[in-house]
């Protein structure tokens, strides 16, 4: 590997580490430092789909309803979600996220915001503009 490629690798590895640290901070702030990627994905699915029922979440995630019920029970104990009966049909129950659940569901996005704030504190305006221009060329 050339020295230039090695330097790029090291820089991006450090950026990813910073983002991961920010994600871990967010989960720790919620008291959920041991949450799994799969659990976060379920919370994201609930957040993204709005009025989601147990059957719908099972369909979205490709799991059985008993698996979803177990996961939602765990989320309720973690204070990330709660059940809400439909006002139109009492037989229908929606899975809702608490503020804590929404924070976890959006942890990756929030981690990026924290990482950007960290970059903004470190670089001056011209350096930030240059970084933006360079990254626009790549993507």
User: Does residue 139 surpass a pLDDT of 80?
Assistant: no
Instruction: Assign 92 to helix, strand or coil.
Output: coil
What confidence score (pLDDT) does residue 1 get? Answer: 74
What confidence score (pLDDT) does residue 67 get? Answer: 94
Rounded distance between C-alpha atoms, residue 61 and residue 45, angstroms:
8
Tens digits of residue pLDDT in 19-43: 888 888 888 888 888 888 889 999 9
Q: Where are the domains of the chain?
A: 1-30+107-139, 35-105
Cα 46 to Cα 16, 93, 109, 114, 123, distances in angstroms: 26, 13, 16, 24, 37
Mean pLDDT over all residues of the chain?
92
Tens digits of residue pLDDT in 94-105: 999 999 999 999
Tens digits of residue pLDDT in 43-78: 999 999 988 999 999 999 999 999 999 999 999 999
CATH class of 35-105: mainly alpha
Tens digits of residue pLDDT in 105-115: 998 898 999 99
């Amino acid at each position: 590997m050339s020295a230039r490629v090695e330097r790029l690798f090291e820089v991006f590895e450090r950026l990813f580490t910073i983002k991961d640290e920010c994600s871990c901070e967010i989960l720790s702030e919620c008291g959920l430092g041991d949450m799994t990627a799969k659990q976060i994905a379920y919370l994201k699915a609930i957040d993204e789909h709005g009025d989601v029922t147990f059957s719908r979440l099972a369909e979205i995630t490709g799991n059985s309803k008993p698996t979803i019920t177990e996961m939602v029970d765990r989320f309720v104990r973690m204070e990330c979600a709660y059940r809400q009966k439909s006002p139109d049909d009492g037989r229908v129950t929606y899975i809702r996220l608490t503020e804590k659940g929404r924070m976890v569901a959006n942890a990756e996005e929030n981690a990026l915001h924290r990482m950007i704030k960290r970059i903004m504190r470190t670089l001056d305006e011209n350096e930030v503009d240059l970084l933006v221009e360079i990254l626009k060329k790549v993507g």
